[in-house]
Amino acid sequence: MQTSVPVHFPLKLVGRRMLAPTVAHLSFVRDDGQPLDFVPGQFVQVHFTYADGTATRRSYSLATIHDHAIGPGEAVEIAVSYVPGGAATAMFEGLDQGDCIDASGPYGRFCLMPTDANRRYLLIGTGTGVTPYRSMLPLLEKAMAERGVEVVLLFGARTPEELLYGDEFRAFAEAHPNFRFLPCFSREMPAPGSAQDHADVRHGYVQNFLEEFAPSADTDIAYLCGNPNMVDACFEVLKERGLPVPQIRREKYVSSK
């Protein structure tokens, strides 16, 4: 896996839409005329200062969908959770179209590896922890076409309105028989007969449904991203099923103000 050396660059806001009541999808382009060469699953850091002038930074996984076979692209897309009273939230909410922020990256190794020879990927995420999986869709499509890999995406949300990118993942699953999308709602289920009400919806936490897929060291590589408690719980389930640690790739999201 090739990764470029992280560098600082300005990002210009070009689009904003709400994915959920407290989560925004923000679209940027590099304002220095350069592309961002990244591997799906990596993240960028946004640099800013607190009110007292103290420098700080926040990390955001790239949600950008891009065909990397044609070269690096300009788009930089992230999902941002708005935290009441949060310094980063205030900074992002104060951005107007065309405004710039300071960023650096890409960072991280939470990526699909070219040497992977597994028969199945188990992708498990909660909240904005699902964003790297959105970015991985073109590579997963290629892996399914070239080596027949199967993919299961278990995505945990509290309610249907908090299912980030749910329509996109569902459409991808309908177009790709080897890709299965299972939304797991911990608090509120979709209304009967609604677009989000289908056979693969589950009621409960994602870790409660791992056993349904009989994880195996012989077939699976698992990715865990999101709430630290979920990551730890799923990690234990997968270890109990015999998956060696190198076949369990983890990234924890810790909320901070």
**Is residue 57 within 8 Å of residue 46, measured between CB atoms?**
yes
The average pLDDT across 232-257 equals 90
- What are 151-201's pLDDT values in tens digits? 999 999 999 999 999 999 999 999 999 999 999 998 877 777 676 767 788
pLDDT for position 3: 53
| 44: exposed, middle or buried (Cβ count in 10 Å: 0-12, 13-18, 19+) | buried
pTM over 0.75: yes
Q: Examine the pLDDT at 1 and tell me if it is beyond 60.
A: no
| 42: exposed, middle or buried (Cβ count in 10 Å: 0-12, 13-18, 19+) | buried
Q: Examine the pLDDT at 2 and tell me if it is beyond 60.
A: no
pLDDT for position 73: 84
- What are 114-164's pLDDT values in tens digits? 999 999 999 999 999 999 999 999 999 999 999 999 999 999 999 999 999
Among 131, 150, 162, smallest CA distance to 219 is for 150
Q: For residue 91, what are the contacts with CB-CB under 8 A and spacing of at least 6?
A: 46, 48, 101
pLDDT for position 69: 75
- What are 36-75's pLDDT values in tens digits? 889 999 999 999 999 899 999 999 999 999 887 787 888 9
The average pLDDT across 1-16 equals 82
Q: For residue 191, what are the contacts with CB-CB under 8 A and spacing of at least 6?
A: 160, 197
And the tokens for 98?
């065309």
